[in-house]
A = this chain, B = another copy of it.
């Protein structure tokens, strides 16, 4: 055992954050290139599955570790809340597939960009957990994630407004509206994790 115990958790959270960034990059690519194929849905499922593995590793590590860098229940919450994000990306990708939407709209592309920016800002936020000496950086990244969540809200509202104005088929309205809402909720989940990181650092300040 060369690494101090604390580093194990930070490494695992960083890997969760990295998996998130990879998943959102992949999602953005599939949306922008209109390649929501069964193979790509399966590939997104791999990101979701790897997220589950990391979460279980964090729980097992917690059960074997006597001294933790911050409260045990916060470690558990952070692992579960980060896992929610990749779960939601898989749900979203799968929903495109189940709804047979092969050509995502411009709004879906813009939302995919916002999601991608949000997971990247989240990765930076999670990286600040290793020390409470960079609270200003944490706070700055959290403000950015909050801004992206607002951007997601505005995009979703514009998209839904446009949908009701131009689409007359109620079945298509139901499908597209839900895809916009699930996409936007990914930025909400990123904000929840950012708030949690902020809360952990505030508590341990």
Contact = CB atoms under 8 A, between A and B. Distances in A.
A95 to B, nearest CB: 8
Contacts of A160: 98
B202 A72 contact: yes
5 contacts: A72-B205, A73-B200, A168-B171, A173-B174, A174-B174
A37 interface: no
**How many protomers of this protein does the assembly include?**
3
A202 B76 contact: yes
Given A94-B157, A157-B98, A77 B199 contact: yes
Query: In the complex, which range does the number of interface residues on chain A fall in?
Result: 35 or more
Contact of A177 (B91, B94, B174): B174
Interface of A: 59, 62-63, 71-73, 76-77, 80, 91, 94-95, 98-99, 135, 139, 153, 157, 160-161, 164, 168, 170-171, 173-175, 177, 195, 198-200, 202-203, 205
A59 B205 CA distance: 13
Contacts of A59: 139, 198, 202
Given A80-B195, A98-B157, A62 B202 contact: yes
Contacts of A77: 199
A73 B203 contact: yes
Given A98-B157, A199-B73, A199-B76, A63 B171 contact: no
Given A63-B139, A73-B203, A164-B171, 17 more contacts: A59-B198, A59-B202, A63-B135, A71-B203, A72-B199, A72-B202, A72-B205, A73-B199, A76-B198, A98-B161, A99-B164, A164-B175, A170-B170, A170-B174, A171-B173, A173-B174, A174-B177
Contacts of A98: 157, 160-161, 164
